[in-house]
Amino acid sequence: MNLTLKIWRQAGPEAPGEMVTYPVSDISEDMSFLEMLDVLNEQLNAKGEEPVAFDSDCREGICGMCSLMINGEAHGPEVTTTCQLHMRSFTDGDTITIEPWRAEAFPLVRDLIVDRSAFDRVIQAGGYVSVNTGAAPEANNLQVRKEKADRAFDTATCIGCGACVAACPNASGMLFLGAKITHLGELPQGQAERDARVVKMLSQHDAEDFGGCQNLGECAAACPKEIPLDVINQLNRDFMKAKR
């Protein structure tokens, strides 16, 4: 198929940016979206133009490195990551706009690449169980109800991609944060630090210029791992309790 791509190009954080149009032809529907961009980049390189910078690593939907707003949707039209999106989701003749995540907390680095280190700092503030190596008791001394373990697992599958932030009109990071609060909060191992954790992580979240949550639900709709919106309720409940 033949496509018209409109891609955000910006040489650096301070440089001006603009949408640039590129035609691509002979795209196979078996290609992944990122392989289609690989083809474009080979063409640009051959013409002596600098390739478009974009992030990816595992290309299996698990590392969270890839991003992209595709026609205004985070990770494009399917419920999956950009690297797992395939060209059969598009039709011959389509025009596709490709932009970076846009959020104050994720400053632009170059072209389609942004800086998501704010997420790391939110985890540093308390997204862990404090147990030094060697200090752990025998694993099976602890029983965990299967439903609890399953919910912990479901929310622990967050890949830290940032689509929730990009999709949110307020650029809030509450789905990401709620996922971590729920993962650790459901488990007995996470109880000792539960109150302190939510307070510290939320305060770091706010310090990073993420916006507030108005329960719009765009985040959960965009999340490739289908993290449920109710983790934000759990986060709010934990916070209220911690503040009491």
The amino acid at residue 219 is C
| CB of 65 vs ligand FES, minimal distance in Å | 5
Residues 54-83 that bind ligand FES (CB under 6 A): 56-59, 61-66, 81, 83
Residues 212-231 that bind ligand SF4 (CB under 6 A): 223-225, 227
* Choices 16-24, 139-147, 208-216, 234-242 (CB under 8 A): range interacting with another protein: 139-147
Crossing angle of helices 174-185 and 146-156, in 10° steps, is 150
* Cα distance between residue 195 and residue 204, in whole Å: 15
By beta-carbon proximity to another protein, the closer residue of 36 and 231 is 36
How far does CA 42 lie from the centroid of its chain? 27
Contact 223, 163 (CB under 8 A): yes
* Cα distance between residue 125 and residue 88, in whole Å: 42
163 interacts with, out of ligand FES, another protein, ligand SF4, none, CB within 5 to 8 A per kind? ligand SF4
Does 49 help bind another protein (rule: CB under 8 A)? yes
* Cα distance between residue 73 and residue 222, in whole Å: 8
* Cα distance between residue 232 and residue 127, in whole Å: 15
Residues 161-200 that bind ligand SF4 (CB under 6 A): 161-164, 175-176, 179
List contacts with ligand SF4 (CB under 6 A): 158-164, 175-176, 179, 223-225, 227
List contacts with ligand FES (CB under 6 A): 56-59, 61-66, 81, 83
